[in-house]
Structure 1
């Protein structure tokens, strides 16, 4: 495997993160059309965002503001919503939709849709994991689900949602239409199942969202392939299905969950383990 992640910093989870305090505030609620938000990413203009429903819904992406006001509904041509999990944008401004939810590890039709908002056309990247041989594998080996990805320098990076083992597997998929192989490039021993990923604007920081924590990595944007160093972590919304994550300006993040909340998170300060309590989600 390619060396992707380097341990560093003060240990708070067993893999080199410094625990910090974020403040959380609810900015809005999803519109009725979005009844199970599984993602959020930047939209067609500043302060607008795309989101989508989870598996089995219409092949539609909804554009909203931070209050949850519906601004547009976009039907993605030549697409089906088998299990849409995460959204990201590529270097050309295409909206990329990860149709790779795979709870039972049975799927042989994993794909990424690339929607061009100018031409209103869709390209498709089909892929299979290089290390999956059985569909499904044995119960103790079913770690081929995914709900999180980012685009970086002509490759997609997928982060597995593991149910049977701790290491999060990182796969690299070439951003090329047609059949591709998802190559495993790293394993990260994180706690919790990863549900969304986001890179900041200048590709210097990556965030991973899980059921219970947010993990922040420093990214070396001058390198050809995604290179990450553990930086911060914070507890977040244990028990709530938060599955959408995007960077705002600076250290701010925008989060969506399947319960319809839209939440803004901002880095406050390092945790004082002797005096400071971890911040909790505010509504």
Structure 2
């Protein structure tokens, strides 16, 4: 994260706090700390994923201005292996996901170079697909690169999730009125793949993840996390521990808790249990899709199509921005404007 971007985010968070809006709970009140990253090279942990094949192993990578490198970390917080991704760039790696190939049973890791602080600085963004190593020892790994562009224009994003059953990839934008974008069902390496908006997302989303069985997904912000059904309907909000720079979210292997991480040296990873209503059985094959008018089944009965717009751009249900969203937006805008003006005066 660049100095200007960090300053703007800090100012926005400060304005929100001064506005007496809801803030994250004390860390120990909402979950337990699993570990702290002990590797001094891990200073901006921005992506987090649980290994699909190695027990008690977690993957992470640094944010912008870093090499295309990721780390396999044990449950004690110690790095077990360091991997470099060959042929990859790391303009602004913001998120990662982990799935399992249904045919081979091998783990698959996805790294999202989707950060775009200028909301249009890059003509396209990239996601790298890496086969999870069977042995945890330092190595250089090959990757498949997929390039993407948004159907409605470039934007900043920090959330990546992959449906564990269908394998479809989703990107969640980081905006005052964010969105979930779906990639094509079949990704192609020879051309740019188009990301299409399928659902609303909370304001300023910093990460996202799918449950291991595909029954829900979560979108993280600086202040909380929101759980959704695969069709985009909101389930509930989950209080998050207070972290210095809340950047990452993942589900535990059993899908009954969330893992929350943060940027910073020796940053912690917390485990937060999910409420009962968040782990009910639902069809794992369901996914967010473009909203349509109600369709007719083969028997003639009208059935409701998925309602991806059911979640708003903030933290509540319903469409549109809530009053709280407007307050946060105004506070963030005021903070950003103040910081930018200050920097401009200092650099004249």
| TM-score normalised by L of structure 2 | 0.61
CA distance in 1, matches of 2:213, 2:196: 25
Which of the numbers 204, 214, 222 marks the counterpart of 2:225? 214
* Contact 1:23–1:268 under 8 Å retained in 2: no
Offset of residue 187 of structure 1: 3.8
1:58 — aligned with what?
67
Structure 1 position 63, deviation (Å) = 0.6
Post-superposition shift, 1:245? 1.2
Distance in 1 (CA, whole Å) between partners of 2:183 and 2:108 is 16
The equivalent of 2:152 in structure 1 is 131
Deviations 1:71-102 (CA, angstroms, capped at 9, x unpaired): 11011111121100111124423211000101
Q: 1:247 aligns with which of 247, 251, 262?
A: 251
Quick one: structure 1 residues 242 and 66, their matched pair in 2 at CA, closer, same or farther if it must change by over 3 Å?
A: farther
Please identify the structure whose Cα radius of gyration is greater.
2
2 CA distance for matches of 1:196 and 1:236?
Answer: 13
Q: Does 1:178 align with 2:190?
A: yes
* CA drift at 1:254: 1.1
The structure carrying a bigger helix percent of its residues is: 2
Distance verdict in 2 for CA 1:88–1:160, change over 3 Å: same
Shift of the alpha carbon at 1:238? 5.4
Structure 2 residue runs of 5 or longer lacking an equivalent are 1-28, 102-106, 135-140, 278-348
Contact 2:183 2:196 in 1 (8 A): no
CA contact 1:115–1:122 (8 Å) conserved in 2:
yes
Q: Which residue of 2 aligns with 1:108?
A: 123
Structure 2: distance between partners of 1:104 and 1:238: 28
Deviation for aligned residue 1:239: 6.6
Aligned-pair CA distance for 1:217: 1.1
2:173 is matched with: 160
Question: Runs of 5+ in structure 1 lacking a partner?
Answer: 1-21, 134-143, 220-226, 271-283
Q: Distance between the aligned counterparts of 1:126 and 1:132, measured in 2?
A: 15
CA distance in 2, matches of 1:70, 1:154: 28
**Distance in 2 of aligned mates of 1:127 and 1:161:** 16
Does the CA-based 8 Å contact 2:182-2:198 persist in structure 1? no
CA distance in 2, matches of 1:70, 1:170: 32
Q: Number of paired residues? A: 228
Gap change, CA 1:88 and 1:32, over 3 Å in 2: same
